[in-house]
């Protein structure tokens, strides 16, 4: 068996440190906010090179609070990608704004900056690029467009902890960034967690207020907020894991090189890494030509005990929840093709070299 990911291996490798961190929080009696959260936020700010890191309950809340801090309001439009997890479009719609979907690049699966300007209207207020699968979006071009049209840019870095562009960390490439610490992420908690990163003092101040019900000081409320605090136990666990994240990402990158070598002579289209980008391979996602039967290949992998996943089987613009936006099949063809063709393979840091070779052999046999 080669699982898609195995969280127990990471726990066993760090068991003494993680157990001590959890016991330390339990012994302290400070379970909500407090030193564990403050310490983790300071670690994140240093690692990302930002002025502010604000811990929240999860990655979806991070997006919603960051958009609120950017003053996104009902009737506004927010440009984003149709090929990603639901959260960015979900929170946009939940705030009464309209998600506007722009097609993706075929090689990186990220939003195509060449198509953004055509989607801008007088109601456009922000762009949410997603660093999908751990590859940085084309932030130079996106920021240039945003500056030209006076738009905010919010990086969805849920899958991009440790990724960088021209040496600058994702989460420090726009007005603000957001992260998810869902257990399977490159930096994962033992439960839920999220973070907002920014160099903007106003965004940071509003975000800190919104995560605790909108209060400016204890029991004084300026606006409707959320109960979205990063739990002290999760902060303590993440503080143990964060110093290892760079090495874990390098392990993922080695696995990616190994896969590319094993699959180089096959019809499978392996992931790319653009010049200046550091891809951290939250997922190792192949593209299968339409001539290949993905269902049969997946069935063969299952038969051989190989973990796999399809991220994502239906692009957001075709999801039933957004039917009233009026998108039709064929309107965003690159994203639609990706949903038919993608296949993600095991790539977690603790994966062994022999397991990578086993996956490669299973794919060769499936052909």
pLDDT of residue 34: 95
User: pLDDT tens digits for 91-119?
Assistant: 999 999 999 999 999 999 999 999 999 99
Q: Within the chain, where are the H helices? A: 7-28, 35-48, 59-69, 87-94, 139-149, 201-210, 232-241, 245-263, 294-303, 333-341, 353-366
Average pLDDT over residues 209-218: 95
Residue 208 to residues 33, 54, 66, 217: CA-CA distances in angstroms? 12, 7, 10, 11
**pLDDT for residue 353:** 97
Going by pLDDT thresholds of 50, 70 and 90, the confidence category of residue 288 is: very high
* Nearest C-alpha neighbor of 285 from the set 104, 25, 18, 53: 104
Q: What mean pLDDT is reported for the chain?
A: 98
Domains of the chain: 7-243 (3.40.640.10), 244-366 (3.90.1150.10)
Query: What band does 204 get if pLDDT is binned at 50, 70 and 90?
Result: very high
Cα–Cα distances (Å) from 288 to 191, 269, 337, 359, in that order, read: 33, 6, 10, 16
Contact 145, 151 (CB under 8 A): yes
State the residue for tokens 């979205």: 228
| Two structure tokens written together for 241 | 């894991």
CA distances from 196 to 1, 43, 172, 244, 323 (A): 37, 13, 10, 21, 30
């Amino acid at each position: 068996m080669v699982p898609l990911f195995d969280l127990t291996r990471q726990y066993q490798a760090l068991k003494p440190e993680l157990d001590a961190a959890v016991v330390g929080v339990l012994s302290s009696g400070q379970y909500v906010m407090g030193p564990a959260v403050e310490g983790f936020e300071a670690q994140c700010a240093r690692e990302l090179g930002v002025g502010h890191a604000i811990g929240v309950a999860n990655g979806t809340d991070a997006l919603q609070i960051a958009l609120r801090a950017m003053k996104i309001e009902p009737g506004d439009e927010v440009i984003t990608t149709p090929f990603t997890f639901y959260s960015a479009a979900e929170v946009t719609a939940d705030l009464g704004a309209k998600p506007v979907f722009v097609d993706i690049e075929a090689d990186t699966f990220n939003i195509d900056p060449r198509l953004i300007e055509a989607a801008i209207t007088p109601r456009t207020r922000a762009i949410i690029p997603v660093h999908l699968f751990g590859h940085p979006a084309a932030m130079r071009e996106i920021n240039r467009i945003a500056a030209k049209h006076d738009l905010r840019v919010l990086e969805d870095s849920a899958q991009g902890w440790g990724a960088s562009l021209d040496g600058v960390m994702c989460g420090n490439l726009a007005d603000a960034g957001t992260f998810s610490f869902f257990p399977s992420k490159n930096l994962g908690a033992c439960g839920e967690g999220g973070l907002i990163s920014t160099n903007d003092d106003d965004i940071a101040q509003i975000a800190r207020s919104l995560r605790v019900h909108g209060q400016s000081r204890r029991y004084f409320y300026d606006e409707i907020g959320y109960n979205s605090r990063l739990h002290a136990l999760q902060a303590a666990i993440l503080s143990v894991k964060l110093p290892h994240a760079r090495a874990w990402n390098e392990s993922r990158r080695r696995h990616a090189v190994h896969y590319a070598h094993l699959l180089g002579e096959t019809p499978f289209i392996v992931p790319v890494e653009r010049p200046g980008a550091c891809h951290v391979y939250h997922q190792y996602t192949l593209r299968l030509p339409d001539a290949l039967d993905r269902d049969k290949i997946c069935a063969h992998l299952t038969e051989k005990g190989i973990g796999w996943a399809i991220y994502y089987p239906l692009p957001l613009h075709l999801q039933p929840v957004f039917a009233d936006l009026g998108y039709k099949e064929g309107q965003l063809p690159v994203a639609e093709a990706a949903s038919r063709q993608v296949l993600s393979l095991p790539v977690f840091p603790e994966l062994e070299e022999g397991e990578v070779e086993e996956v490669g052999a299973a794919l060769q046999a499936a052909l």
